[in-house]
Amino acid sequence: MRAKVVSPLAGTIAGATAEAVLRACVHCGMCNATCPTFKLTGDELDGPRGRIYLMKSALEGEAVTRETQLHLDRCLTCRACETTCPSGVEYHRLLDIGRPFVDAQLTRPWRERALRALIRWVTPHADRFAVALALGRLFAPILPATLRAKLPPKAPAQAAAPKPAGGRRMALLAGCVQAAAAPQFNAAATRVFARIGADLAPTPGAGCCGAIDFHLGAADQARALARRNIDAWLGEARAETVVVTASGCAAFIKDYPDLLAADPAYAEKAVRVAALVTDPVEVLAETPPRPVRPPAEPRIAVHEPCTLRHGLKLPGRIETLLAALGYQPQPVRDAHLCCGSAGSYALTQPEFAGALRADKLAALTEHAPAAIFTANIGCWLHLGETAPVPVRHWIEAVDEVT
C-alpha cells in the first residue's frame, strides 16, 4: 500500500517508519481472523486492516473524527495481527505513530481526560499505587462491588531474600504497579535465580518502563522514564542483563529504539538496552533449575500474555519449563487471544475488557486447573478480578518446586 505522510511527520524518522509499515501491507485481511476486537464486533474498523486504513488516511492528511479515535482506542496493542500477518507488517509500530497523530488533532471529553490523568498520576508510581491500594482495602466495605473486585489479594509474607550467591549479577526491573501490588513475583524470581547461581538486584534509579504513560498519550513522559532507565542500567550499574518479570514492561523496553529514535543522545543507547532485556523464562530455559519436590497441585493452566507471545515472541516457553518441573499444563483454546487487560485498557475500555476476560477465563478453566499461571502484572490483576481459581505468576510455580 503506497503512502505519503504529511506534516508534521513528513521527512521524520517516525514518518519514514509509518510509510514503510504501510508499504508492507497488501490489504489481504488475514489479520482480522485473529483480532480480538474484530471477533467481538465484526466491524472492519475494529480490526487491524481497518485500523491501518484509518491511520493511513489520517497520516496522509484526511480529517479525523472521534470515530477514528474510538476505533484506535479499542485496539489492545496485543499484536496478534502481527503474528498472523503473512507480509510481516509491524502493526504496533504504525499504531505507536498513528494514535498520537490522531489524538493531537482532537480533544477528548473531560471524563476521558480525567480518567487518563488519574491513571497516569497513580499507576506509574509504586508509592502512590501502594497508598491507593491501602486506601482501597481500608474502605473496601463501602466501595462499589466493581471497584472492590479490582483490589488484588494481599501479598503473602516473603522469606528473607537469599544471600548473594557470588555468581553472575543481573539487574532486575522493580517496576511500578508490580512493586506495590505483587512484590512476591520478584521475590520468587530472586530465590529461583539464586538457585541457578545468579544474583538478581534492582538497579538504583531504574523504575517504571514508561508504557502506561506512552499508551495514554504522554509520549514525552515515557521518553523521560526511558532515558532515566537507560542511564541507570548503562551508567554505574553497567548491567549486562536486565531481567524483567512483567512481560508488558519487557516488550515496551524492547521498543525503546523506536521511542528514542529521534534523540541523538539516546538512540544508540536505546538499542543497547533493548538487547539487554530478557524475560526470566529465557534464562531458565538455558539454565534450568533442579526440581527438588513434586508440585502440590500439578494440574494448571498457563495464560500467555500477548506481550510474551506476540511481543517478545516466546510462545510455549512457560508451559515447556513448567512441564519439565512436574506440572501438567492443560490445553488452552484460543491461546492467541488477549485477556483484555492490555495495560490501562481494562480501565479505559471496560466493556471490551470484561467480554474478553470472560472468554479467556472460560478457555483457561475448561480442563479444571487448580491455578492459572501468567507472566504479566496487568493480566494477573485483570484475570484475578473474576477468576474462579487462584491466578499467580509462573515464577512462583518454579519457586515452589526447586
**Which of 19-27, 160-168, 262-270, 347-355 is the region at the interface with ligand SF4 (rule: CB under 6 A)?**
19-27
Considering beta carbons, is residue 89 or 200 the nearer one to ligand SF4? 89
Considering beta carbons, is residue 173 or 338 the nearer one to ligand SF4? 338
Q: How far is the CB of 130 from ligand SF4 (least distance, A)?
A: 31
30 binds ligand SF4 (CB under 6 A): yes
x/- string (CB under 6 A) for ligand SF4, residues 69-108? ------xxxxxxx---x-x-x-x-----------------
Residue from 9, 19, 22, 36 touching ligand SF4 (CB under 6 A): that is 36
Provide Rg for the chain, Cα atoms.
21
Q: How far is the CB of 48 from ligand SF4 (least distance, A)?
A: 4
Considering beta carbons, is residue 87 or 386 the nearer one to ligand SF4? 87
2 binds ligand SF4 (CB under 6 A): no
211 binds ligand SF4 (CB under 6 A): no
- What is the C-alpha separation between 164 and 184, in angstroms, rounded? 18
Q: How far is the CB of 101 from ligand SF4 (least distance, A)?
A: 16
Q: How far is the CB of 89 from ligand SF4 (least distance, A)?
A: 4
Residue from 10, 13, 28, 362 touching ligand SF4 (CB under 6 A): that is 28
**Which of 44-52, 172-180, 263-271, 311-319 is the region at the interface with ligand SF4 (rule: CB under 6 A)?**
44-52
Q: How far is the CB of 93 from ligand SF4 (least distance, A)?
A: 11
Task: Summarize as ranges the residues that interact with ligand SF4 (CB under 6 A).
Answer: 25-31, 35-37, 48-49, 51-52, 75-81, 85, 87, 89, 91
